[in-house]
Amino acid sequence: MESGGDFKRPFLSGVILQVVYHYRQHLAILGILSIVLSIVFSSPGFITPLYKSTVILYPTASNSISKVLLSDNFNNSKDILEFGEDEQTEQMLQVLNSNKIRDRVISKFSLMEHYGIKENASFRLTELYDEYESNFKFRRTEFMAVKITVMDKDAQMAADMANDVAELIDSTINNMQKQIAVKAFLIVEREYLKLEEEIKTKEDSMTVLRQYGVHDYESQAEMFNMQLAMEMAKGNRESIKRLETKLDMLAKYGGPYVSLRDALEHDKKQLSELKAKYEEAKVDATQSLPHKFVINTAYKAERKSYPIRWLIVVTATFSVLLLAIIIFGLFEIFSGALGNNIKKKSTIETVA
């Protein structure tokens, strides 16, 4: 039992050391070769160096100018100077990943030519979009900010593109909002002008009724009836006839006057409310505010960010040596050389 334990112990704990010691020269040669080759193949001649530029920004808390500046709702919690929260951050990330920004960046910086994609290639757009997505990254930071990262072989171009993407956020969001805001404004404007015209027509009708002597139906009717009663008591027929004529005129046009007056009062109240909406819609359709607070702008990187040569060299060398040890170890096990060495060692220890 002890010999069996002695046989298992070096197999479990010492096989790697035995393989390393036995093939130390081979491993040294492989290590040196892997270092040299990884240095060579990670050089600019094989892997294009990429420079990284980043922009960090926060979204604003509100997207509507009128709601923040013109609204009478003082309980509105949105502040024009307040940083946005999760919802606004997610919305901004969706905008950054939209094809509206992607296509404008591709067009402005001629990225198809810059990435070396041929115009007549069968899958030129697929290659272009894949290259764009690999070089442009947008993510949320742990502080709820938005980080824009751009990688490119041209350090200055990487910084310019990162800054340009940040600038495109405002115009892209404004363009999308204006499409709706302008239509909403035209609807409100049409209703506002229509109601204004209706009020003008009713006011003209009231002017005509006043020409017939109808100025205030209730007070006039009360006054004429009192005077009629007094004149009838006096027996003044001429005054009675004159008052009856006025009462007949008042009876004829009093009803339309009251209807127009009440409708006009209602329309003017509605016009006042509609005017507030009209002014808000006009501001939203014609004015714009920034949708971001830029914390850090991008600058030209002085050192490349990719590839990280030391990491490639270490990873490649370690992988080669590990694979070589495994292969040599399997070779020793299946060839029986390792077992013979272990048995010899066990015999020597027993004799001793």
Residue 97: both structure tokens together: 């990943």
pLDDT at 197: 92
Dihedral over Cα of 17, 23, 24, 30: its sign: negative
Confidence of residue 231 (pLDDT cuts 50, 70, 90): low
> Measured between alpha carbons, how far is 129 from 304 in angstroms, rounded to an integer?
23
* Average pLDDT for 81-94: 84
pLDDT in tens, 13-61: 566 777 777 778 888 898 899 889 888 877 777 778 899 999 999 998 7
* Average pLDDT for 112-139: 92
pLDDT in tens, 153-192: 999 999 999 999 999 999 999 898 888 889 999 999 999 9
CB atoms within 10 A of CB 13: 9
Beta bridge partners of 136: 150
Looking up tokens 């502080």 gives: 143
Cis amide prior to 10 (ω within 30 degrees):
no
Looking up tokens 């999760």 gives: 86
Judged against a pLDDT cut of 50, whether residue 66 lies above it is answered with yes
Nearest Cα to Cα of residue 297 among 136, 57, 51, 109: 57
Say if pTM beats, i.e. exceeds, 0.75: no
Domain ranges (residues) in the chain: 2-44+309-351, 51-183+289-296, 186-286
pLDDT above 90 covers what percent of the chain? 28
Phi, then psi, of 147 in degrees rounded to 5 = -110, 125
Confidence of residue 2 (pLDDT cuts 50, 70, 90): very low
- Distances in Å between the Cα of 70 and the Cα atoms of 62, 74, 272, 327 are 13, 10, 15, 76
The answer to whether the CB of 163 falls within 8 A of the CB of 55 is: yes
pLDDT in tens, 250-273: 677 777 877 888 888 888 899 888
Confidence of residue 135 (pLDDT cuts 50, 70, 90): very high
Phi, then psi, of 71 in degrees rounded to 5 = -70, 145
- Distances in Å between the Cα of 67 and the Cα atoms of 76, 176, 184, 194, 321 are 8, 18, 14, 25, 66
186 three-class SS: helix
Distance from chain centroid for Cα 18 = 59
At what angle are helices 337-351 and 15-22 packed, to 10 degrees?
110
Phi, then psi, of 138 in degrees rounded to 5 = -130, 130
Task: Of 209-213, 244-248, 321-325, give the lowest mean pLDDT range.
Answer: 244-248
Phi-psi region of 52 (alpha: psi -120 to 50; beta: other; left: phi over 0): beta
Those residues whose C-beta lies under 8 Å from the C-beta of residue 309, and which sit 6 or more positions away, are 39, 42, 43
Judged against a pLDDT cut of 50, whether residue 74 lies above it is answered with no
Architecture label for domain 51-183+289-296: 2-Layer Sandwich (3.30)
